[in-house]
Amino acid sequence: MSTKITGILLLLLIVASCNSQTSGEFWFLEKDKNYDRVKTAFQDYVSFFPKRGDAYSISDTWSLDSNTEFNIKSVFEFKSEQFKEALSTIRKSSIAEYPSDAECLLVLNRFATHSNYGYPKKHEIDHNIINLDCYKDLYPIPNFSNFSSYQTDETEPKLQKEFNIYVLEAKTGRFLAEEDITKGLYMPEEWKHGYSKGVAVNESKKLMIFWVIIW
């Protein structure tokens, strides 16, 4: 076999291996083949999501909106023992825990609601609450509006009060390609751009929402 053919075969094997690894990480999205851009955007951030066989995928949503954020949120249901193990791991590795009905939370795209679909009108934007003193020691979390049956307008993150929100990692800075950098709307200056990832947990229903937000 010539050196040229050997090189081509080796390249194909490398590409196939990379594609296989990416598909494995995004097993919960495999039912749809039009997720290439989503996988590219989040492939470096979803290693903490459940592996195939560890949980049941219930639903997922994602957005690649250059005005506000890139996000992916996926709901998983666990069996009792697997839920306990996952929750223990999350608690040990989290850097913050917030009740979803806490009075002060740093919510990305906080003015998005079920009715405005993430595009608030001018009268819905309250500039007085974009940079409050109580945000100082908080990490950004998602807005869960328009997300399945778990959303509510009664809490700041638009997530039912039965959920606790765990932040696993959050950093300021630019983590998107230059052409994808968002406008950082409705965020304090120190969190103008960044990323955050974590899990929202409903213990009574043994549900977990794994999420990543980049803006």
- Answer yes or no: is 30 within a domain: no
Structure tokens at 52: 């195939």
Q: Is residue 9 part of a domain?
A: no
Q: Mind listing the pLDDT tens digit for each residue in 32-88? A: 567 888 999 999 999 999 999 999 999 999 999 988 899 999 999 999 999 999 999
Domain that holds residue 133: 44-214
Tell me the per-residue pLDDT of 20-45, one tens digit each, with 9 for 90 and over: 444 578 898 866 567 888 999 999 99
Per-residue pLDDT tens over the stretch 169-197: 999 999 999 999 999 889 999 999 999 99
Q: Output the pTM of the full model.
A: 0.86
Whether 2 maps to a domain, the answer reads no
pLDDT of residue 149: 86
Nearest of 42, 57, 56, 71 to residue 146 by alpha carbon: 71
Q: Indicate whether 182 belongs to any domain.
A: yes
Q: Which strands, in side-by-side order, build the sheet including 69-77?
A: 56-65, 69-77, 207-214, 194-202, 164-172, 96-99
Q: Is residue 25 part of a domain?
A: no
Give pLDDT tens digits for 120-148.
Answer: 999 999 999 999 999 999 999 999 998 77
How many domains does the chain divide into?
Answer: 1
Length of the chain: 215
